[in-house]
Structure 1
Amino acid sequence: MSLSVALRHRFPGFTLDVDFQAQAGVTALFGRSGSGKTSVINAVAGLLRPEAGRITLDGRDLMDSATGRFLPPHRRGLGYVFQDSRLFPHLSVRQNLLYGRWFASHGDRIGFEDVVSLLGIGDLLQRRPGALSGGEKQRVAIGRALLSRPRMLLMDEPLAALDEARKSEILPYLERLRDQTRIPILYVSHAMPEVARLATTLVILRDGKVMQAGQLEGLMSDPDTAAHLGEGQAGSVIAARVQAHDADGLTRLSTPLGELLVPHLDAAPGHTLRLRIHARDVMLSLTRPQGISALNVLSANVRSVAPGTGPDVLVRLAVGQDHLLARITARSAKALALAPGIAVHAVVKSVAVTDRG
């Protein structure tokens, strides 16, 4: 799957001017409110007709201002999940799901029973939306969109209206959707924790323009990205696999950085997950520290030292087969004489790497 978006559209006091490519997996449009995220996804859906540009999905033009082509929403083969579930209140969950079949766009992608199993909604089929929690409603809305057999799934802030408990409930289902189906997803969010957990590609928007775009893990460890993420959000996203659970309550993880120890994770050996390591939780030392409580000390080499947003700097480190980002004070960087090529030890607190996104 490939999605190409290049468009320009003027609103009162605001101009949307974006150009990016998306591949298979989850492409997250990230930015603050008013950055243009929803306008982009609405243009892809056909709910907004841009003044100029071209949008192509798998080599098929959805719109092209040069030729005048503009496919209406119902001919684009896209499923749309809004911030609010927009379920029909007078229909049961089963009936809401089956409604999606009326708009099936092309060949079999995923059947009814598969959708019910994937989203864990088998016990809800006879209920009506009024008897569902917010997280349950969103799962049903996703199921309805999937049953339209879309070429791509569009999700506009699907978790924004949910509290933290409901977000925690639905995130594993979104991970299953990403990992177990071959349906690409364009995902709008201003919440970095869910983006870091779900996305494979990241597109950062600000004031209607693309600031950065690319593979998530590479961008998250890039100091240039930090300025666009918000205070305290800079850090690295690392793939990990559960190796073993030790008798003292720690879990061993295999990662491109090397082995990491974290407090016990409720996941079987072999299970894969993502770790989000905040730059503020990484300390640096020129010699291997002795007599400290931190369990994770990694050998690293400095790749770059970049100014931060205040009296700090962002240090990009090469560790094993991946990169790690550290935020330290400029005074500390000067005292350590940090520069590209310097060998250091990165100290990561165990508690900092238990966040799965």
Structure 2
Amino acid sequence: MAATGIQARFACSVGAFTLDVDLDLPGSGLTALFGHSGCGKTTLLRCMAGLQAADGVMRVNGDEWQSEGAGNSGSRPVHQRPLAYVFQETSLFPHLSVKRNLMYGYTRIPQSERQVSFDKAVEWLGLSHLLERMPVKLSGGERQRVAIARALLTSPKLLLLDEPLSALDHNSKQEIMPYLEALRDNLAIPMLYVSHSTAEVARLADHIVMMDKGRVVAQGPLQQIMARTDQPFGLEEDAGVIIDATLSERDERWHLWRADFAGGHLWLRADHGLAIGQHIRLQVLARDISLALSKQTDQSIQNLLPATVDEVASEVSPGTSMVRLLAGRTPFLSRLTTRSVHTLAIEPGQQVWMQVKSVALVD
């Protein structure tokens, strides 16, 4: 097995299905475990933590946590695995202040082994004004931020998050998202994040593992997996791509932002909370891209991009086809009627113009 990254193979019977997975994941960034409820996401996380007995192998950046053997016979017990596990429920110590909750794990790690400083954890999770509060005085989002910071301060080599936002209301989820983005961008520790929310995955994930009935149906970098023409779980209706972009210009007259990406640029409606030079994520749905064989300027769609047809998947649903395109190195999807594909004679290698009707900022 490779010396870097996370390699994991597990097999075990759980309830109505058998978990059987083989993963090779990045050794940094945020990997989302995504799928319908009951597909085995949490079971997989528990196997990684050593909480669920399973045949298999696991290695984290060259450190072997489990070797071949029946059940957990070739496995480190959970207390010997340098990981942190954040559950749906925060389980803060109710009799300790926020600061003392954070210090509980931090002071038990030898100074030479600390990977995250107390001040950094407080900064990344925005907790400086909460340190003297008691848990009962915190909102749901604040409690979850404290729980994540407390986990980080144990200096784990792997951070596991099991649907950490599922118990929060919409406003609390929006409040905590920027802090999770900050962790993804700054933390050297790999994170595995369980979710069945496409919005959370689109905003946070670098890498994605899609699961169904205990098995992996797709895994890879988020942008590549989202740009597949064969959408797992029948997601053709909401198929689309996620694009990393940088804001380069603000058009004050028309209240628009120009977002540059590897392959061109797109205009989107201005948001006063953004700034030139800011890195953002954009979502472009397949149903919002139409194709033309020549550049059409006498129409209302302003985002026109030259592209090359990469793949055509016919009849992904009755009368509907999915076309994968490349604008430079960046993939896009266009959902067209099969009749349109036939009329325009769309085929791989063809040069076309994409007409992008709508671009959404992922937030």
- Give the TM interval when normalised to the shorter protein: over 0.9
- SS of alignment partner, residue 308 of structure 1: strand
The 5 A counterparts of 1:70-219 are: 70-101=75-106, 104=109, 107-219=113-225
1:55 aligns to 2:58 (yes or no): yes
Partner residue of 2:274 out of 256, 262, 267: 267
Partner of 2:37: 33
1:9 aligns to 2:12 (yes or no): yes
Deviates more, 1:139-148 or 1:321-330: 321-330
> Could you list the runs of 5+ residues in structure 1 that have no partner in the other structure?
none
Q: Distance in 2 between matches of 1:200 and 1:112?
A: 26
Report if aligned partners of 2:83, 2:156 keep a CA contact under 8 Å in 1.
yes
Structure 1 residue 103 displacement after superposition? 5.2
Q: Distance in 1 between matches of 2:215 and 2:344?
A: 38
Structure 1 residue 229 displacement after superposition? 6.3
Structure 1 residue 218 displacement after superposition? 1.3
Structure 1 residue 231 displacement after superposition? 5.4
Partner of 1:341: 349
Q: Distance in 2 between matches of 1:22 and 1:102?
A: 31
Q: Distance in 1 between matches of 2:74 and 2:61?
A: 16
Q: Distance in 1 between matches of 2:232 and 2:261?
A: 27
Residue by residue over 1:35-66, the C-alpha shift from the partner in whole angstroms, topping out at 9 and shown as x without a partner, is: 1100001111111111x111111222212242
Partner of 2:312: 305
Structure 1 residue 354 displacement after superposition? 2.8
- SS of alignment partner, residue 99 of structure 2: helix
Q: Distance in 1 between matches of 2:76 and 2:60?
A: 12
Partner of 2:330: 322
Partner of 1:239: 244
Report if aligned partners of 2:228, 2:324 keep a CA contact under 8 Å in 1.
yes
Deviates more, 1:323-332 or 1:59-68: 59-68
1:296 aligns to 2:303 (yes or no): yes
Report if aligned partners of 2:29, 2:187 keep a CA contact under 8 Å in 1.
no
- SS of alignment partner, residue 179 of structure 2: helix
- SS of alignment partner, residue 145 of structure 1: helix
Structure 1 residue 90 displacement after superposition? 2.0
Residue by residue over 1:297-344, the C-alpha shift from the partner in whole angstroms, topping out at 9 and shown as x without a partner, is: 111121111132343111000112211111122222222221112222
1:46 aligns to 2:50 (yes or no): yes
- SS of alignment partner, residue 183 of structure 2: helix
Structure 1 residue 215 displacement after superposition? 1.3
Q: Distance in 1 between matches of 2:236 and 2:350?
A: 28
Cα RMSD of the aligned pairs, angstroms, is: 1.7
Report if aligned partners of 2:280, 2:361 keep a CA contact under 8 Å in 1.
no
Query: What letter corresponds to residue 281 of structure 1 in structure 2?
Result: D
Structure 1 residue 232 displacement after superposition? 3.1
1:310–1:148 Cα change, 3 Å: farther
Query: What letter corresponds to residue 156 of structure 1 in structure 2?
Result: D
Deviates more, 1:53-62 or 1:31-40: 53-62
Q: Distance in 2 between matches of 1:103 and 1:16?
A: 35
1:103–1:28 Cα change, 3 Å: farther
Query: What letter corresponds to residue 326 of structure 2 in structure 1?
Result: A
Structure 1 residue 17 displacement after superposition? 0.2
Q: Distance in 1 between matches of 2:281 and 2:170?
A: 19
Q: Distance in 1 between matches of 2:141 and 2:237?
A: 28
Structure 1 residue 228 displacement after superposition? 3.1
Runs of 4+ in 1 over 4 A off after TM superposition: none
